Structure 1
Amino acid sequence: MTSQWLFTGLVLLVGLERLAELVVSQRHAAWAFARGAVERGQSHYPFMVVLHSALLVGAVAEVWAADRPFVPALGRVMLALVVASQALRWWCIATLGSQWNTRVIVVPGLALVRRGPYRLVPHPNYVAVVVEGLALPLVHSAWVTALVFTAANAVLLSVRIRVENAALREIASPTGAPA
């Protein structure tokens, strides 16, 4: 079996993990909306879905079309980073519980979570996204996909983090008005 096929399998596994996230996210959204939640930032969400899908497709396409080599020293380090980013992502999901979502959904009256990775970094899930977005394509030297995704993701995350911070300030405000 060639390294290209193994890489394709890895990307498919990451794709399945993303589908699992969407299932969890749907359940959490239903839970939140049943408690009077309001969604923020809906306009950027479709761009996130497209960008994250493009990461997976682009990485595989670049490896096959450009015949990118597997460089063991680079590939092993990047694979370790991909695994670490997945662990961090699921630590975030477990820590936030029903409050975790792929969308920005605000449940009035819930306290901000300040445990787990959130006691260390304000947005640890986005650390996982950034690391994975760079590392996954580089497992098999798909450097164009890594660079393009990283640049586009930086722009998108700047919007997303502003929206999420505004929503979190709204939660933290005792009156419900923006703080």
Structure 2
Amino acid sequence: MIFYFIFVFVIIQRLVELLIAKRNEKLMRAKGAYEVGASHYPFMIALHVSFFISLLIEVLYFKSMVVPFYGLLVVFVLLQLFRIWCLVSLGMYWNTKVIILPGANVVVKGPYSYIRHPNYLVVCLEILVLPLLFQAYVTALIFTILNFLMLAVRIPIEEKALKEATDYATSMKRNIN
């Protein structure tokens, strides 16, 4: 029962985030923003959709009894709070796409004052913790690796664009070593 609750909660959360991202993209584009790295975005969507399908299949069809590890449940809840902190800190700049507003000052508040990509850290940990919570070890392993490969493409594209169009390079030197 707890699996269904958490699974539905995360799916609803992701759908709400997509609505927020669409709204933010519209706001940013109205101010002159543009997208970079669009070619990898469909692969990222496929990765995340496949993750949820894999999780569902592994938990429902390959487990005789689903008993969550409650310590990981606490970690999962803390990750959700951290995710919200990231989202709120970025405000209109938060997006699922890489949307760049030329001349913008990058956000260096909240978790962004401590590390460069806290939202990606949350996603990496969620992709590991959520399956482990329900002993879906294959999903945890495969999608952790796939997500790291995806971020190995995405983060350099994002950082290059931010360095070229914003104050990213100087802001990161000042705030994050």
The alignment's TM-score, normalised by the length of structure 1, stands at 0.89
Could you list the runs of 4 or more consecutive aligned residues of structure 1 that deviate by over 2 angstroms after TM superposition? 68-72, 171-174
1:43 aligned onto 2:43: no
In the TM superposition, what whole-angstrom CA distance separates every residue of 1:96-137 from its partner, at most 9, and x where no partner exists?
Answer: 111111100001121011111001110000110011000001
Cα contact 1:68–1:140 (8 A) shared by 2: no
Distance 1:37 1:91, change over 3 A: same
1:80 aligned onto 2:90: no
User: Which of 121, 141, 146 matches 1:147?
Assistant: 141
1:60 aligned onto 2:56: yes
Deviation at 1:12, TM superposition (A): 1.3
User: Which of 98, 122, 142 matches 1:104?
Assistant: 98
Q: Percent identity?
A: 41
Q: Aligned to 2:35, what secondary structure does the other structure show?
A: strand
Q: Aligned to 2:99, what secondary structure does the other structure show?
A: strand
1:11 aligned onto 2:29: no
Deviation at 1:9, TM superposition (A): 2.3
User: Which of 162, 168, 171 matches 1:168?
Assistant: 162
State the alpha-carbon separation in 2 of the partners of residues 98 and 51 from structure 1: 25
Cα contact 1:62–1:68 (8 A) shared by 2: no
List runs of 5+ in structure 2 lacking aligned partners.
Answer: 169-177
Cα contact 2:59–2:66 (8 A) shared by 1: no
State the alpha-carbon separation in 2 of the partners of residues 100 and 139 from structure 1: 27
State the alpha-carbon separation in 1 of the partners of residues 74 and 159 from structure 2: 30
Q: Aligned to 1:39, what secondary structure does the other structure show?
A: strand
The alignment's TM-score, normalised by the length of structure 2, stands at 0.90
Q: Aligned to 1:67, what secondary structure does the other structure show?
A: coil
Amino acid at match of 2:6: L
Deviation at 1:28, TM superposition (A): 0.2
User: Aligned Cα RMSD in Å?
Assistant: 1.5
Cα contact 1:81–1:131 (8 A) shared by 2: no
Cα contact 1:28–1:99 (8 A) shared by 2: yes
Cα contact 1:69–1:141 (8 A) shared by 2: no
Cα contact 2:105–2:167 (8 A) shared by 1: no
State the alpha-carbon separation in 2 of the partners of residues 56 and 141 from structure 1: 14
